[in-house]
Amino acid sequence: MPEGHTIHRAARDHRRAFSGQKLSVTSPQGRFSEGASLLDSKSCETVEAIGKHLLYRFQNSSALHVHLGLFGRVRKNPLPLKPPKGAVRVRLVSKTHYVDINGPTICEVIDQSGVDALFKRIGPDVLRADANPEISFQKIQRSGLPIGQLIMDQSIMAGIGNIYRTEILWRQAIHPEIPGKAISRHTFDRIWDDAAYLLAIGMKRNAIVTVDAHLFSKKRSGEKYNIFGTVSCPKCNGDVRRLEINKRRAFVCDKCQPLPKHVS
């Protein structure tokens, strides 16, 4: 579930619910009790997303840093409180709502220097207005690694996950195995712009939707992909080939996403 759009959506939602409020912070499962007690009954100033990282900023520049990993979930509900479902590491409670954070891989309290370090190791985030895509392009241009790997590397550009990777490259007719150094500025811009566009839609719909026909329809339709997890290309009807990039499944239509001949 958690690609960048999920995290940004949660940040926006929780910011509205929690900004300026004193929160009760507990750890129902007891695995985060010291961290929870550091933040308990402090005022939450704002909530922000940096790529797939969530940051709840509290008074005194301390922050709750959360990364959901592959399986983590974050859920907001109106009061009254209900018993925690599953492995709730952190529960944040305001006067009106509560948020449960299930199964994060990172869950820690950090200070301002920790926040600075986080920003330093995460690349420009396609969903943030303050992102500078030039930094991403420079890194891609210097790398011989496949573009399919580079656009999912959060230190190069942040927000894209395994599904968007396949879908964006298909939509832009770019073969995932083209090395970064063979990607032109114009091609990079198409990737960046489509990522920003699709993730913003994902935020609105709370679902990964990458099929034009569904993007333009008003119907709520849940997840809609072009070639991710499929066997035939909706554009040319040819075979979709499954491959692995960094031990993650990826898909390509070799006909619609041609690999240039001079590239091995």
Q: How far is the CB of 58 from DNA (least distance, A)?
A: 22
CB of residue 203 to DNA, shortest distance in Å: 12
Is residue 182 part of the contact set for DNA (CB under 7 A)?
Answer: no
The most distant pair of C-alpha atoms in the chain lies apart, rounded to whole Å, by 63
- In the residue annotation, 177 being an active-site residue is answered as no
Check residue 119 for interaction with DNA (CB under 7 A). no
Q: How many CA atoms lie within 13 A of 51 on its CB side?
A: 22
Residues whose CB is less than 8 angstroms from the CB of residue 182 and which lie 6 or more positions away in sequence, other chains included: 260, 263
Task: Out of 28, 35, 51, 176, point to the residue binding DNA (CB under 7 A).
Answer: 51
230 binds DNA (CB under 7 A): no
Question: Least distance in Å: CB of 43 to DNA?
Answer: 27
| Contact set for DNA, span 7-36 (CB under 7 A) | 29, 31
Q: Choose, from 22, 242, 248, 255, the residue flagged as catalytic.
A: 248
Assess whether 120 carries a catalytic annotation: no
- Under rule CB under 7 A, residue 54 binds DNA: no
Q: Which stretch binds DNA (CB under 7 A): 65-73, 90-98, 190-198, 209-217?
A: 65-73
Stretch touching DNA by CB under 7 A, among 36-44, 54-62, 70-78, 169-177: 70-78
**Residue 3 designated active-site:** yes
Q: Does 176 bind DNA (CB under 7 A)?
A: no
2 as an active site residue: the answer is yes
Interface with DNA (CB under 7 A), residue from 40, 103, 182, 187: 103
Least separation in angstroms between residue 19's CB and DNA is 25
Exactly one of 223, 230, 235, 255 binds DNA (CB under 7 A); that residue is 223
3 binds DNA (CB under 7 A): yes
Tokens 């007719």: give the residue.
173
Number of residues binding to DNA, judged by CB under 7 A: 38
Both structure tokens of 66: 């959360």
SS3 string, the chain, reads CCCHHHHHHHHHHHHHHHCCEECEEECCCCCCHHHHHHHCCCEEEEEEEECCEEEEEEHHHCEEEEECCCCCEEEEEECCCCCCCCCEEEEEECCCEEEEEECCCEEEEECHHHHHHHHHHCCCECCCCCCCHHHHHHHHHCCCCEHHHHCCCCCCCECCCHHHHHHHHHHCCCCCCCEHHHCCHHHHHHHHHHHHHHHHHHHHHCCCECCHHHHCCCCCCCCECCCCCCCECCCCCCECEEEEECCEEEEECCCCCCCCCCCC
**Nearest Cα to 14, choosing from 67, 59, 50, 57?**
57
Q: Is residue 89 at the binding interface for DNA, with CB under 7 A as the rule?
A: yes
What amino acid positions are annotated as catalytic residues?
2-3, 52, 248
Binding footprint of DNA on the chain (CB under 7 A): 1-3, 6, 29, 31, 51-52, 67, 69-73, 85-87, 89, 102-103, 105, 121, 143-145, 149, 152, 154-155, 161-163, 208, 223, 246-249
